Structure 1
């Protein structure tokens, strides 16, 4: 009888360990996908701007609730999702807000995506949703990494998008500077002539500047005009070492060096 009890206990331990191993294996695959914010960068083969209607298009999958949240730059879209074997995934639509925005194309494309996508793939910082394991990519996302802390401090401009005039001619006597105060979501600096200040909004790699107020000195040349025109165009940024790059969609419009 005791021998049978030992056998029973041994089998029970083996079953529990096997169960733990299965759960561990599943949980190891999930963190590559869920609990993160993914920025939509391509939809049906077309590049998606960093901001649409002033907002970053994104997708988030919550592991605990089994729900997803997304935006195409207008309304919040959400519902339930399910992960399946062999990188299968399915989405069901839930409630969403009903605002009308100037550009609804990305939002409408996302709704179609959630109806069609049934397979996902994660490669480092890129996630791809497709229809079928061998199907073409319906959408590509990049992992949103918070770089806002790297912006803190003062930067000096060393490139600006202006095909008509050489950079050194535009800023022969003084280069523009910008200083970020992220605790207050504010910026200040000098446009090469007048001082300016205002607000800044950051969401992942997306960035936009609020109304920038400046002093009113008369300035020679058109360097200041070119500066304010380009900083209004900026939709995203990237920081590598001591270089800050400001981008409009996929075009570099300004580059700065840390002072």
Structure 2
């Protein structure tokens, strides 16, 4: 009798365990089908996004003076920076769960481009209206509610250029050697920062700043270059002549740790050497 009771009890425990196992497997299966759990979060920050279309209409970036219309989100500062076809713009942003995004009112430079074919106000309005985004591979769409995308962007290819994140000290300017003057605080130099494509440097008396873009074939363009306004009447170096380099240069060459900035195929406008700090 005791043997029969023990056998029945064991069967009951076995059946109960099997049912619990099936239930657990069923719950796991249902959870894996839950889109809120299966969708992986993909960051769109710290990436250069180049515009491809606005409300379904393709945008030809060559219309923007050959420069790409883009934006970058900086995850550390929570700031957005970009180029709208004539002027650069900047502001702040927030990202929340569910691919929700919002931008502050953007500010921009005030350069006049009367011949521009790009409607900058239309570009800026994208960020004013956008409240969500969808990312698929190397494509990004900024949306408003459930409407069709306000604009679509593509991820910029990584340049991995040896010109960036290096301290480039000026060696020659228009073929003439440059030496540090006695009343000069620092070497004349510039540095291309990968963050927000910023330029930083020193022109001999004043600090300089601006932006740059790199393209295939060692093409480079500088824009919005500016300096501080410190007066140095006894200074030997002509800062205006040095700054003119960034206005003219459109390509570069690097041999070992020597950089040359050129316009077209002419002789170097200036030659720099990489310095380890």
TM-score by length of 2: 0.43
Structure ranking higher on relative contact order (CA contacts 8 Å, 6+ apart): 1
